[in-house]
Amino acid sequence: MTAEDDRVWAVVPAAGAGTRMGTEVPKQYLPLLGRPLIEHTLERLLSHPRIAGVVVAVAAGDERWRALGLAGRPGVTTVTGGAERCHSVLNALAWLLGQGHGGAWVLVHDAARPCLSHGEIDRLLEALAEDPVGGLLGLPVRDTMKRAGAQDRVAGTVPREGLWHALTPQMFRTGALHGALGAALDRGELVTDESSAMELAGHAPRLVPGRPENIKVTRPEDLALAELYLRQQGGSTG
């Protein structure tokens, strides 16, 4: 294994407006325990000893990002995001490729997942260290799954065996993921996560068990839950 192959980078797409939160402020900047949510997320990544740096993709002219102390912190690089998550990730990967990191592992993590633990990162890195494709954190589905039809009537029951909730980080080689995302966009596929792009490219990413606390803040009630988990963790990244 070369020194380059052993380096791990993180990409955080943070150019979205978070419209489902119903707030004027994008969700990544909403207050969480007295700090913008994204600060909790980035510190979980930056404090991990294996992560060489974080590339954050933000909207053009994002003054809220510029006002954060983390924006100028060593190890943090800012790139301009795009219209969709996949465009933002692609721009961040292009920066890494320009720096010669095409063979490095990259962890793509949601800006709105502030409760990620170092233990989860460790588990992902260990499970995928020698994997030819890469993979993602996930949680096996425990509930009975229903498919909705017209007027939200149940159209069928979906067997939960083999079903997982996809989480982040999602971990792939920089060059391979850049190629897969670019190919998906060329075909008009606006993939919603990085694994989907790799799947379209013919790969089968590996699922690695994550933790239920690694929630994505999407709706107002999620903020209270994230606060509860962070308080329980007591500021610990483990």
Mean pLDDT, 10 residues at a time, over the chain (238 residues)?
A: 66 82 83 96 96 97 93 94 96 98 97 97 97 98 95 95 97 98 97 98 98 95 95 75
Residue 2 is predicted with a pLDDT of 43
Q: What is the pLDDT of residue 75?
A: 95
Whole-number pLDDT of residue 5:
52
pTM of the model: 0.94
Q: Domain residue spans in the chain? A: 8-235
Q: In whole angstroms, what separates CA 74 from the centre of its chain?
A: 21
3-state secondary structure at position 165: strand
Cα–Cα distances in angstroms (integers) from residue 118 to residues 32, 44, 49, 65, 197, in the given order? 20, 7, 9, 24, 26
**Contact at 8 Å (CB) between 186 and 139?**
no
Residues in Cβ contact with 112 at an 8 Å cutoff, skipping those fewer than 6 apart: 18, 27, 28, 37, 38, 41, 216, 217, 218
- Residue 45: what pLDDT? 97
Contact 156, 173 (CB under 8 A): no
Superfamily name with CATH number, domain 8-235: Spore Coat Polysaccharide Biosynthesis Protein SpsA; Chain A (3.90.550.10)
